[in-house]
Amino acid sequence: MKLSKPSDDQQPTHRIVIVGGGFGGLYAAKELGRSQQFDVTLIDKRNFHLFQPLLYQVATGKLSPGDISSPLRAILSRHRQVKVLMDEVLDIDPQQHQVTLSSGTLPYDTLIVATGVSHHYFGNEQWADVAPGLKTIEDALEMRRRIFLAFEAAEKETDPEKRRAWLTFVVVGGGPTGVELAGALADLAYTALKDDFRSIDTKETRILLLEGVDRVLPPYPPDLSAKAARSLEDLGVVVETQTLVTNITTDAVTVRQGEQTRQIPTKTVLWAAGVRASKMGTVLAERAGAELDRVGRVIVNPDLSLPGEPDIFVVGDLAHYAHQDDKPLPGVAPVAMHEGAYVAKLLQRRLQGEDLPPFRYSDAGSLAVIGHNAAVANFGWLKISGFPAWLIWVFVHIYYLIEFDNKMIVMIQWFWHYFTRKGGARLITGEEGKLNESEFTAEVERDRTLIR
Amino acid sequence: MKLSKPSDDQQPTHRIVIVGGGFGGLYAAKELGRSQQFDVTLIDKRNFHLFQPLLYQVATGKLSPGDISSPLRAILSRHRQVKVLMDEVLDIDPQQHQVTLSSGTLPYDTLIVATGVSHHYFGNEQWADVAPGLKTIEDALEMRRRIFLAFEAAEKETDPEKRRAWLTFVVVGGGPTGVELAGALADLAYTALKDDFRSIDTKETRILLLEGVDRVLPPYPPDLSAKAARSLEDLGVVVETQTLVTNITTDAVTVRQGEQTRQIPTKTVLWAAGVRASKMGTVLAERAGAELDRVGRVIVNPDLSLPGEPDIFVVGDLAHYAHQDDKPLPGVAPVAMHEGAYVAKLLQRRLQGEDLPPFRYSDAGSLAVIGHNAAVANFGWLKISGFPAWLIWVFVHIYYLIEFDNKMIVMIQWFWHYFTRKGGARLITGEEGKLNESEFTAEVERDRTLIR
């Protein structure tokens, strides 16, 4: 397998291998693609970049997978010295400066690892089948399938108790993903679907958002958390904080609130409670002595390199960067983009014998959308909520979508849905309607310390 | 399971059960939904209507599944006396006037069966794994996965012979679907992807369209077939007529042309050669004595009812209607729509003690698209090809898409793609990149009489 083409001129080309085509890896590749001196290979298991912040809209049937995905090759097609390889990295050899792929080995001068995180059940991996998480397109389609099948099952069900269980949706985790999912479910049940059924009234749908700590959106200031909770309640979502999930089966979620334990009968549980680093973290620990934090993220130097390995960098959600403020930088897209671009600039400078000051993330603000016309935004000096925050949210997301792939189409779809409150991609696809009916009995308390 | 709600007034409501939410069933439901006297239940295994004429655009990564699918409930939401049931009909009992569903039984006064056809391998069902057909969303996503994986595999392959096999695409069947697929593949390989790869030149892609009879688009007049073939060749497609496929394996297609037998090394074969009636045809034969034609379609009366069963109608692709011209009506969307609407009108008239003359299909013309700016149109009195035909094709399809679900979004996407020649939904999803590697050895000659 020929992977590195020989350079034509005298000066040997500096070979950079980037693992992962998310926000971190892609921004590094785009920035490096501007220089002629590098030979860049971007490796990803998938052939597309996923605009993960909008994945919840696929899960709730508003957008199609294609609307939030762009082929990596298309994004990078004009960067002629950037090569895209659809492959999986199985191992890293820092001594030999090479990575092992499923189809061979590939040498590097500099390695950038940006493989992100996946969702995680804190030792209750048996919950994965009954409470799907949301990290991949396939995850989103599985959520979509379960959500719409639940309404179909409720329409056919005549037992009032069972019907109520089909019309009860429980979202576990009150971070941005959980808040967005709960809000989108409310839009769906109370507006988009309200005329579509004959035996049920979708307005009777119950949507519960469960959070372990004392408020939703814990990374935000308390007053914005309170506003988010109020907005959710206005939409019809039941917000329950200080609520620990102790068990999930195909028929119910068991929760503990203080000393009280209670069962919530439900057929649909969506998991938005926590993440764990992808397995490249472990590979870096074993092969390059990387130190990992409690969720497996790689602790990095102030320049995002690995301690003791100046030719290996870690960016994005996989990196634990603790050189700014007292806590690590959050696992959000803007941090990953800035980190990817920083490493690219650092490498460009180094080629000219120069250096860069340590990485610093300048937080432009955080945004979380709740539902139609409702969001919260925190710019530090300014905290806003409601319609103005929602408008900012829409424009920021469109800006980034267009930057990647001219996805004006999403803007137009939103515009359309905004006025019709209908439309979207409410398909049930996949294994024609079969629900997983396996039962789980393990009663393990959720590790509350890992809840963000 | 409560399926038929009691009517409030004195006069008993006439219960109509429609099986299948394709063009035939949906048009019947929409028309019947205008009358207050009917209690209509539309049953489909899926929760959406699929705009099948554009399925090839999903298979080739131009549109997303959601762009050509609309939830049946949403389409029929304003028809309050039409109920949608996501379920499967397992059996029909004409004596008891009821259908058996997977979730119970449902009585009817009138039954309309519109379950269509699926693709078919003429006794070579073992080809299904190596040469996927195109009838469902899942079929289209499987084709899309294989097409884009083939380019990815070619990019990694260093053996020139194997690389050529990855870059060879064989479309079996020169009817409308085969012509559309081959043309779309040419657009993809020679335009959309041309800058995306580094090791291969996608312009070296070979696209072969194989047809058993002596010309493509056999239902069209010979001069339009010739123009279609010329348009395909202009796009870069190799058209081979009078070519019988005798075997398909994971590495090659074996064809016979006259006395000559030849192997075409290829890793990607797309099946567009033939269809067979869905299994409801067999159920009607067993339960209601229906007579079936060679491909299992149900032979119907001049009013589309089943001979001997005045309360059962068959519409759409499943119906073999031979009371007009010398051959059965073609299995295309306009025929299905007209048939569905006819039966609905007939039932409305009968309720008033009136009748309707036998069904007559007034052919407004046929259209087949070949590629960017190329199509053929046959209006009987007028035959056109090239850009004008393509423009008509675009407007006709947009008209029907908008009629169903305000899918203006597709028009905008086309507009966008037309000028950029890029964009679309070129995702590889599903079982992350695994190709089926099973080998087939059966060498059975294809039944040429069934090739349209």
Pick from A225, A227, A257, A253: which is nearest to A240 by CA?
A: A257
Has residue A184 got a pLDDT over 80? yes
For residues A97-103, average pLDDT = 94
Sequence-distant (≥ 6) Cβ neighbours of residue A340 within 8 angstroms: A23, A24, A25, A26, A27, A28, A29, A31, A112, A114, A315, A316
Do you know the residue count of chain A?
452
Query: For the residues B296-305, what does the mean pLDDT come to?
Result: 97
Q: Report the residue from B1, B71, B156 with minimal CB separation from A103.
A: B156
What are A264's two structure tokens?
């919530």
Say how many C-beta atoms besides its own lie within 10 A of residue B397's C-beta. 22
Check B71 against A426: CB less than 8 A apart: yes
Q: In which order are the strands placed within the sheet that holds A244-248?
A: A244-248, A252-257, A260-265
DSSP-assigned letter for residue B292: B
Give the C-alpha separation, A215 to B64, whole Å: 38
What CA–CA distance (Å, rounded) separates A157 from A25?
Answer: 48
First to last CA, chain A: 44
Residue A277's pLDDT is 94
Which of A67, A76, A138, A409 to substitute to test the interface with B, most B CBs within 10 Å?
Answer: A409
Q: Is the pLDDT of residue A444 over 80?
A: no
What does the alpha-carbon distance between residue B50 and residue B69 come to, in Å, rounded to a whole number?
5
Range ranked top by mean pLDDT from A382-386, A406-410, B117-121, B197-201: B197-201
* CA dist list (Å): B438 to A152, B302, B329: 37, 47, 38
Could you tell me the two tokens for B134?
């195109």
Q: How confident is the model at residue B203 (pLDDT cuts 50, 70, 90)?
A: very high
- Token reading at B365: 């013309």
- CB nearest to B69's CB, from A103, A427, A433: A427
* A347 vs B431, residue with greater confidence: A347
The answer to whether B397 and B411 are in contact (CB under 8 A) is no
ipTM summary value = 0.84
Please check whether residue A394 is in contact with residue A53, taking contact to mean a CB–CB distance below 8 angstroms.
no
What is residue B280's three-state secondary structure? helix
Give the span between the Cα atoms of A183 and A393, in whole angstroms: 14
CATH superfamily of A14-119+276-351: FAD/NAD(P)-binding domain (3.50.50.60)
Q: Are A73 and A60 in contact (CB under 8 A)?
A: no
B174 secondary structure, DSSP code: -
**E-only strand ranges, B28-67:** 38-44, 48-50
The crossing angle, in degrees rounded to 10, of helices B333-351 and B23-32 is 30
| Residue A438: predicted pLDDT | 27
> Of A142, A157, A180, A309, which one is the catalytic site residue?
A180
The SS3 of residue A381 is: coil
Confidence of residue A371 (pLDDT cuts 50, 70, 90): confident
What average pLDDT does this structure show over B305-318? 97
Q: Count of CB contacts below 8 A, A vs B?
A: 141
- Map out the domains of chain A as residue ranges: 14-119+276-351, 125-273+430-447
Q: What is residue A403's predicted lDDT score, i.e. its pLDDT?
A: 67
Comparing CA positions, the residue from B276, B238, B242 lying closest to residue B119 is B276
User: Which value, to the nearest 10 degrees, does the dihedral of the CA atoms of residues A139, A141, A142, A146 take?
Assistant: 140
Contacts of B267 (CB under 8 A, 6+ apart): B150, B153, B165, B166, B168, B250, B251, B435
The pLDDT score that the predictor gives to residue A108 is 98
Task: Provide, as residue numbers in chain A, all residues whose Cβ is less than 8 Å from the Cβ of B66.
Answer: 63-64, 424-425, 427
Taking a C-beta distance cutoff of 8 angstroms, is the pair B296, B281 a contact?
Answer: yes
**Chain A partners of B426 at a C-beta cutoff of 8 Å?**
47-48, 71, 74
pLDDT category at B365 given cuts 50, 70, 90 is confident
Number of H helices, E strands in chain B: 11, 25
Q: Write out pLDDT tens, residues A27-75.
A: 999 999 988 889 999 999 999 999 898 899 999 988 888 888 888 998 8
Spell out which residues of chain B touch residue A6, defining contact as CB-CB under 8 Å: none
| Tokens 């069209």 belong to residue | B220
Q: Where are the beta strands (DSSP E) in A9-131?
A: 14-19, 38-44, 48-50, 69-71, 82-86, 89-93, 98-101, 104-107, 110-113, 117-119
- In sequence order, what DSSP letters do the residues of A297-313 get, joined into one string? PEE--TTSEETTEEEEE
B80-123 pLDDT per residue, tens: 999 999 999 999 999 999 999 998 999 999 999 999 999 889 88
Mutate to test the interface with B, among A2, A5, A47 (most CBs of B within 10 A): A47
How much of chain B, in percent, has pLDDT values that exceed 90?
A: 66
Contact A331, A14 (CB under 8 A): no
Is B409 in contact with A409 (Cβ distance < 8 A)? yes
The per-residue pLDDT for B408 is 62
**Residue B318: C-alpha distances to residues A373, B284, B328, B330 (Å):** 47, 11, 11, 11
Over pLDDT 90: what percentage of chain A? 66
Both tokens of B110, joined, read: 């009138």
Look at B386 and A201; give whichever has higher pLDDT.
A201
| pLDDT class of B393 with cuts at 50, 70, 90 | confident
* Whole-number pLDDT of residue B422: 58
Residue-by-residue DSSP string for A103-168: TEEEE-SEEEE---EEE--TT-GGGGTTS---SSHHHHHHHHHHHHHHHHHHHH--SHHHHHHHTE
Nearest neighbour of B428 by CB, restricted to A2, A46, A197: A46
Q: Read off φ and ψ for residue B335, nearest 5 degrees.
A: -60, -45
Most B CBs within 10 Å, among A41, A43, A77, to test the B interface: A77
Nearest in space to B113 (alpha carbons), one of B326, B330, B296: B296
User: Which structure tokens are listed for A100?
Assistant: 């092992």
Instruction: Give the helix/strand (H/E) hosting A75.
Output: helix A72-75
Instruction: Give the residue carrying structure tokens 């009585």.
Output: B107
Chain A residues within 8 A of B48 when measuring between CB atoms: 426-428
Architecture, CATH, for domain B125-273+429-450 = 3-Layer(bba) Sandwich (3.50)
How does residue A452 score in pLDDT terms, banded at 50, 70 and 90? very low
Between A90 and B68, the higher pLDDT residue: A90
pLDDT of residue A253: 98
Q: Work out the mean pLDDT of chain A and round it to a whole number.
A: 87
Q: pLDDT digits over B372-385, tens only? A: 788 898 888 888 88
Confidence band of B364 (pLDDT split at 50, 70, 90): confident
- Among B13-22, B52-61, B210-219, B438-447, the minimum mean pLDDT is found in B438-447
Residue-level pLDDT at B418: 65
| Cβ pair A429:B77 closer than 8 A | no
Q: Is the pLDDT of residue A324 over 50?
A: yes
Equal fold, B14-119+276-351 vs B125-273+429-450: yes
Question: CA of B450, closest CA in chain A: separation in Å?
Answer: 30
DSSP state of A11: S
Q: Could you tell me which CATH number the domain at A125-273+430-447 has?
A: 3.50.50.100
pLDDT, mean of residues A291-304: 96
* Encoded tokens for A128: 């994965």
Question: Where is A253: in which H helix or E strand?
Answer: strand A252-257
pLDDT at B103: 86
* pLDDT band per the 50, 70, 90 thresholds, residue B434: very low
Q: Give the C-alpha separation, B155 to B381, whole Å.
A: 49
Q: What is chain B's percent helix, strand, coil content, to nearest 5?
A: 35, 25, 40
The average pLDDT across B152-159 equals 95
Query: Range with the lowest mean pLDDT among A322-326, A418-422, B5-9, B154-158?
Result: B5-9
Write the DSSP assignment of A198-232 as a string of letters: SSS-GGG-EEEEE-SSSSSSTTS-HHHHHHHHHHH
Are the Cβ atoms of B423 and A405 closer than 8 angstroms? Answer: yes
- Judged by CB atoms closer than 8 Å, whether chains meet at A138 and B429 is answered as yes
As a whole-number percent, the residues of chain A with pLDDT over 70 amount to 87
Per-residue pLDDT, B24: 97
The answer on pLDDT for A399 being more than 80 is: no
- Of the two residues B364 and A260, the one the predictor is more confident about is A260
Q: What is the pLDDT of residue B257?
A: 95
- CB B426 to CB A71 under 8 A? yes
Termini Cα distance of chain B: 44
Q: Residue B224 pLDDT more than 70?
A: yes
* pLDDT for A5: 43
- Indicate the range of A189-198, B40-49, B186-195, B403-412 predicted with least confidence: B403-412
Two structure tokens written together for A279: 């397995």
pLDDT interval class at A406 (50, 70, 90): low
**Higher per-residue pLDDT: B360 or A401:** B360
Backbone angles phi, psi at A448, to 5 degrees: -70, -25
Exposure pattern of A252-278 as b/e (b: 16+ CB <10 Å)? bbebbeeeeeeebebbbbbbbbbbbbb
Contact at CB, A199 and B2, closer than 8 angstroms: yes
Please report residues of B whose CB lies closer than 8 A to that of A2. Answer: 158, 199
